[in-house]
Amino acid sequence: MFSLKNKTAIITGGGSGIGKAIAKIFAKQGAEVFILDFDENGATQTINEIISDEGKGVAVKCDVSNQHQVKEIIDNIAVKNGNIDILINNAGIPHIGTAETTSEEDFTRLFNVNIKGVYNCLHATLPYLKLNGGVILNMASIASSVGIPDRFAYSMTKGAVVGMTLATAKDYIKFNIRCNCISPARVHTPFVDGFLSKNYPGKEKEMFETLSKGQPIGRMAEPVDIAYLVLYLCSDEASFITGCDYPIDGGFIKLNN
């Protein structure tokens, strides 16, 4: 079950965190993974780990906000492999701030990566997915469904991801292309560790426990928790699922009373 043998998968932001976990699991399940990441060193490290585990993959430095660059890279992948089967739009950047405290520069930066970056990858990949069908998985957030303090611009971008997911699912169902998104709650990634060390020096462990308890289940998600859901939604076992947003949140949305 959940085999991705002979599949070609493009994963943006696969150099760390959730994207890295997705890339490693996809490779283990038989896919050849192409990691597109602005962090070339992180992407290369992930691919080295995949290859050492007898998987197949390639790391490519990519700025997803640059449409010309994205198109050139994806065209090259399609030519090399003859087909593209899966697109994971995982690359994204966080931001902390309200509508008052978010600068125009930061607002534009988040738009360019979290929204335009998804659009750029869809725009470049859909012509190839249309040839034989395929799967798209976009990374949204519970911030698109509930109010999160100090996440104004970030919430805006993730709401847009959900909207693009539904529109793409509707437009391309006739081409046998499925498109879904998932909405994680807090996940223990390098961003969390960096945030704690920057804002709570000397109290990292205490604050980590406080943040963990914000999820009713009592802990943060680990990247692999998210990756397993992505694997299911991109496998043939999920062939009847499209146009859905899946919260994976430790009960945050429904049980936080």
In tens, the pLDDT along 83-124 reads 999 999 999 999 999 999 999 999 999 999 999 999 999 999
In tens, the pLDDT along 35-56 reads 999 999 999 999 999 999 999 9
Does pLDDT of 146 surpass 80?
A: yes
Per-residue model confidence (pLDDT) at position 198 = 87
**If you average pLDDT over residues 218-236, what whole number do you get?**
97
Does pLDDT of 209 surpass 90?
A: yes
Does pLDDT of 187 surpass 70?
A: yes
| Residue partners of 120: CB distance under 8 A and separation at least 6 | 64, 65, 66, 67, 70, 71
- In angstroms, the CA 175 to CA 84 distance is 14
Does pLDDT of 257 surpass 70?
A: no
- In angstroms, the CA 235 to CA 246 distance is 15
Per-residue model confidence (pLDDT) at position 195 = 83
- With 0-12 / 13-18 / 19 or more C-beta atoms within 10 angstroms meaning exposed / middle / buried, residue 225 is middle
Per-residue model confidence (pLDDT) at position 246 = 97
119, 154, 172, 200: which one is catalytic?
Answer: 154
pTM: 0.96
| Residue partners of 23: CB distance under 8 A and separation at least 6 | 11, 14, 33, 35, 46, 47, 50, 57
| CA atoms in the 13 A half-sphere facing the CB of 89 | 37
Contact 161, 118 (CB under 8 A): yes
Q: Quick one: which H or E segment has residue 89?
A: strand 86-89
Per-residue model confidence (pLDDT) at position 150 = 94
Does pLDDT of 256 surpass 90?
A: no
List domains and CATH numbers for the chain.
8-185+223-251 (3.40.50.720), 188-220 (no CATH)
**If you average pLDDT over residues 163-178, what whole number do you get?**
98
- The percentage of residues in the chain with a pLDDT greater than 90, rounded to a whole number, is 93
Nearest by Cα to 186 from 167, 218, 157, 211 = 211
Does pLDDT of 214 surpass 90?
A: no
| Angle of the 67-81 helix axis to the 116-132 helix axis, nearest 10 | 20
Residues 141-158 as b/e (b if ≥16 CB within 10 A, e otherwise) read bbbbbeebeebbbbbbbb
Known catalytic membership, residue 154: yes
- In angstroms, the CA 170 to CA 136 distance is 13
In tens, the pLDDT along 49-82 reads 999 999 999 999 999 999 999 999 999 999 999 9
Mean model confidence pLDDT for the chain: 96
